[in-house]
Every structure is written in structure tokens, then in C-alpha cells.
């Protein structure tokens, strides 16, 4: 069921099914002024770490690459997927306590479920694999990065996997 727009907002579109396994959200919300809401899609996530090299290596194992970054005063790097800087990693010598912030998890569309599971096992990283019920029917793979940030990779349901749920 599609939730109604928040109070004071109006709908300017709809949901469109792209395939049996993916849905594109094309609904745009209008401000009370009648202007479109400015938010279009997620742009990037930021991780703060005191283990920059370990964090970089971890994400490189899943196809992220280091790319250009503006000359800002906080050390770190930007990691790219499909030419977009989707993960900003900031290096800090003092980590906040508790290490985890308010971000619950970050999700990425992914391909190659069996190879990803093998890579996680080889790295000794625990994970949880779930199947989203029909009509979506995708796989959701959850695991923590070296900093304790939860990562979700979403795979189409036609990929081979075995759920860890009863």
C-alpha cells in the first residue's frame, strides 16, 4: 500500500513498476506553495572512522573505488559507484562514543549475491540474508563495516541465495 502524502503536501505522480523485482518510486510531493519538493534521491552517506585504510579496503572488496574529492580540511576520501561519489569517509583520531550515530543503515542496489556472500565469509564478516516477500521478492543482505555502520545490499530475487531466516 502506498502511504498518503504528509499533511500539507499533495501528490504529483505515481509509483511505476519497472520489473517484477524492482519498483521505482516516481511519486513527487508538492509543498503547500505548489512547488515540487526539492529532494530527489539519496546522494551520499558519510562514515567517520579512525581506521581509514581498513575502511577503504573493506568497501573496495565490493566494487567501490576511490575518486576525486575536494580539498577540504578534514582528512578522508570519497568512494564511487558508477561514477558517483556515494560514500564519503572522514578520518578522525577521536571517535565519538558510542561509535554509532543515528544512521541505522545504508542500502545499495547490488549484483552477484553468491560472490558477495563468499567475500564476506572470506573476510570473516557476519551477515544476515533475508527475502523480501512478494511482489518485490528481492534479497536483502545486511552486514557491518569495520566501523560498525550497517550496510544493506539489495539483490534481485532471481539471484541464488539461501535465507538465514526460519
For 73-83, b where at least 16 C-beta lie within 10 A, e where not — what string?
eeebbbbbbee
What mean pLDDT, rounded, does the chain reach? 77
State whether the Cα torsion 79-81-87-88 is positive or negative: positive
pLDDT bin (cut points 50, 70, 90) of residue 1 is: very low
CA distances from 132 to 16, 26, 48, 140, 154 (A): 18, 21, 30, 7, 10
| Domains along the sequence of the chain with CATH | 1-40 (no CATH), 45-155 (3.10.180.10)
The average pLDDT across 18-35 equals 50
At 54-64, the pLDDT tens digits run 999 999 999 99
Task: Check residue 28 and give its pLDDT.
Answer: 53
pTM of the entire structure? 0.63
Task: Check residue 134 and give its pLDDT.
Answer: 75
| The three cell numbers locating residue 53 | 585504510
DSSP code string of 38-59: S--S---EEEEES-HHHHHHHH
Contact 65, 80 (CB under 8 A): yes
At 62-114, the pLDDT tens digits run 999 999 998 888 899 999 999 999 999 989 888 767 665 556 688 898 888 98
Which helix (H) or strand (E) is 114 found in, with range?
helix 113-123
Amino acid at each position: 500500500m502506498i502511504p498518503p502524502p504528509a499533511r500539507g503536501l499533495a501528490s504529483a505522480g505515481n509509483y511505476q513498476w519497472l520489473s517484477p523485482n524492482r519498483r521505482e518510486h516516481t511519486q513527487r510531493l508538492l509543498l503547500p506553495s505548489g512547488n515540487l519538493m526539492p529532494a530527489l534521491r539519496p546522494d551520499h552517506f558519510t562514515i567517520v572512522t579512525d581506521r581509514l585504510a581498513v575502511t577503504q579496503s573493506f568497501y573496495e572488496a565490493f566494487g567501490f573505488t576511490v575518486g576525486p574529492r575536494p580539498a577540504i580540511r578534514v582528512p578522508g576520501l570519497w568512494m564511487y559507484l558508477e561514477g558517483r561519489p556515494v560514500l564519503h569517509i572522514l578520518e578522525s583520531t577521536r571517535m565519538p562514543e558510542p561509535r554509532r550515530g543515528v544512521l541505522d543503515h545504508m542500502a545499495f542496489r547490488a549484483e552477484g549475491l553468491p560472490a558477495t556472500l563468499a567475500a564476506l565469509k572470506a573476510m570473516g564478516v557476519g551477515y544476515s540474508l533475508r527475502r523480501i516477500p512478494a511482489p518485490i521478492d528481492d534479497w536483502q543482505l545486511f552486514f557491518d563495516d569495520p566501523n560498525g555502520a550497517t550496510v544493506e545490499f539489495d539483490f534481485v530475487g532471481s539471484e541464488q541465495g539461501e535465507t538465514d531466516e526460519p
